[in-house]
Amino acid sequence: MSEVRLRFAPSPTGYLHVGGARTALFNWLLARKQHGKFILRIEDTDVARSTQESVDAILEGMTWLGLDWDEGPFYQSDNFPIYREYVEKLLASGKAYKCYCSAEELEAKREAALKAGGKPKYDGTCRDLPDQPGKPYVVRFRTPHDGTSAWVDLIKGTISFENKELDDLIIQRSDGTPTYNFVVVIDDAVMGITTVIRGDDHVNNTPRQILLYEALEFPVPHFAHVPMILGADKTRLSKRHGATSVMAYRDMGYLPEAMVNYLVRLGWSYGDEEIFTLSDLVEKFSIENVGRSAGVFNPDKLLWLNAHYIKTGDPERLAQLVTPFLKQRQVDPATGPSLVEVVKTLQERARTMLELADGAIFYYNSDFDYDAKGAAKHFTAEAPELLGALVAKLEALPALTVEAIEQLFKEICEEKGIKLGQIGPAVRIALSGVTASPGIYEMIHVLGVEETKKRIERAVATIKP
């Protein structure tokens, strides 16, 4: 049995789009599941639009998602001599020909065909012309006029095209550069690609490519065409629906495992399961379970998944990931309590790393303003005495544990004849400045006795006698 080989072949004309990332993921998963190879190829033959910045953005996005490649990245621009060699081979065998029609002549033919109610395809004027030295030309593939080009798509089932409906494809432009449909066949054949998973906007390219494989006597790979991703309005996902760049989601505080989990579920299912790790996916993924209908991008579902992964995540890893977001907010986590311990108090309710960072600021910045309504309600005339009693008991604790702090609050409530609601909110505001924060006991444990005392004394100083 030959080695299974799949590839992801983006054009470096922009960032890694979520649709491209999903295609890469499906290819990566199938390669890993079948113990094959995953190849990364950069299709940079569009010299005018291809940039190194885009290449770097694609590689960064792939790395962030955890989609490592076994070979590459290879660059199409390195293969121009190979493409010319195969163009000459087709010309020599009579399977391609030189077309001397000018752009104006082609436009006139197109308009005439449309006017006559036909398809605006090339009429074959130059199919049997002799060489015309010195005259500019393109090279066209001599598409058979009879027969059918068909394949069993791994997602869509059997698809067929009548060859007579296909055009004589241009495989080399007048400036000598090859065209997409030609170079992708050469690359996939030379690289030994056995399965091509790509977007279903390529379905119409596939019969033309199959004919090229056959003309060059290359084995034809399996094809699987993935339905597109739509926005909530059921139109193709674009910037008007929100961020479409994978790295934009990283910058918005999403975790790569949440993005991977979400992307794979956009079109693929495994029973009723929703949560998958990469290793789960390698075990359970199958291309046959990819649906035929388009997936609708739902930001709320992605946010739900992200919240799940933050809630269940390793606090040490989350602490590393949130550090850049804290530094963006001019917060140095080295100047305060353990960031790992801070994360533990916040991850239950944070949905993004941005929310985690915002929630952590008060631990490192003690000169915050108090929530006006909360302070007016809870910084009462009785509060200073209760807060003072709390500080005294904290200083007397032999060990500052969450359990000991909870017991301490119970003692104060019993001694003063009050309920927790008569002291807890005032402590919360004194420590964090807001009425919604992590648990009071957890905050005191993380801040420590001295910082807790300092913050309570600051709050008491603001309460008018």
pLDDT in tens, 60-104: 999 999 999 999 999 999 999 999 999 999 999 999 999 999 999
Cross-strand pairs, 244: none
In which band, very low, low, confident or very high, does the pLDDT at 450 lie, cut at 50, 70 and 90? very high
In which band, very low, low, confident or very high, does the pLDDT at 45 lie, cut at 50, 70 and 90? confident
CB 249 within 8 A of CB 259: yes
438 preceded by cis ω (within 30°)? no
pLDDT at 319 over 90: yes
Burial class (CB in 10 A: 0-12, 13-18, 19+), 222: middle
In the chain, domain spans:
5-69+229-302, 78-184, 313-364, 372-462
Q: What is the pLDDT of residue 418?
A: 95
Fold: same for 5-69+229-302 and 78-184 = no
Q: Across residues 196-224, what is the average pLDDT?
A: 97
Out of 3.40.50.300, 3.10.20.30, 3.40.50.1980, 3.40.50.620, select the CATH number for domain 5-69+229-302.
Answer: 3.40.50.620
Q: What is the pLDDT of residue 121?
A: 84
* Domain 78-184 in this protein, CATH class: alpha beta
Residue % of the chain over a pLDDT of 70:
99
How big, in percent rounded to 5, are the helix, strand and coil portions of the chain? 50, 10, 35
CA–CA distance, 32 with 285 (Å, rounded to integer): 10
pLDDT at 286 over 80: yes
In which band, very low, low, confident or very high, does the pLDDT at 116 lie, cut at 50, 70 and 90? confident
**Predicted TM-score (pTM) of this structure:** 0.92
Q: What is the pLDDT of residue 5?
A: 98
Better-scored residue on pLDDT, 46 or 437 = 437
pLDDT at 1 over 70: no
In which band, very low, low, confident or very high, does the pLDDT at 46 lie, cut at 50, 70 and 90? confident
Q: What is the pLDDT of residue 390?
A: 96
pLDDT in tens, 320-361: 999 999 999 999 999 999 999 999 999 999 999 999 999 999
pLDDT at 465 over 80: no
Query: What's the per-residue H, E or C state across 66-124?
Result: CCCCCEEEEEHHHHHHHHHHHHHHHHHCCCEEEECCCHHHHHHHHHHHHHCCCCCCCCC
pLDDT in tens, 295-315: 999 999 999 999 999 999 999
Measured between its terminal Cα atoms, the distance across the chain in Å is 86
Q: Across residues 255-271, what is the average pLDDT?
A: 95
| CATH architecture, range 372-462 | Orthogonal Bundle (1.10)
Structure tokens at 269: 């299912």
Residue % of the chain over a pLDDT of 90:
90
Q: Across residues 423-439, what is the average pLDDT?
A: 96
25: closest CA among 181, 214, 256, 192?
Answer: 256
In which band, very low, low, confident or very high, does the pLDDT at 196 lie, cut at 50, 70 and 90? very high
CB 398 within 8 A of CB 437: no
Q: What is the pLDDT of residue 12?
A: 93
Better-scored residue on pLDDT, 244 or 363 = 363
pLDDT at 240 over 90: no
Per the residue annotation, which of 119, 164, 239, 410 is the catalytic one? 239
> What is the residue-averaged pLDDT of the chain?
95
Query: What's the per-residue H, E or C state across 384-429?
Result: HHHHHHHHHHHHHCCCCCHHHHHHHHHHHHHHHCCCHHHCHHHHHH
Is-catalytic flag, 239?
Answer: yes
Q: Across residues 243-268, what is the average pLDDT?
A: 94
Q: What is the pLDDT of residue 232?
A: 86
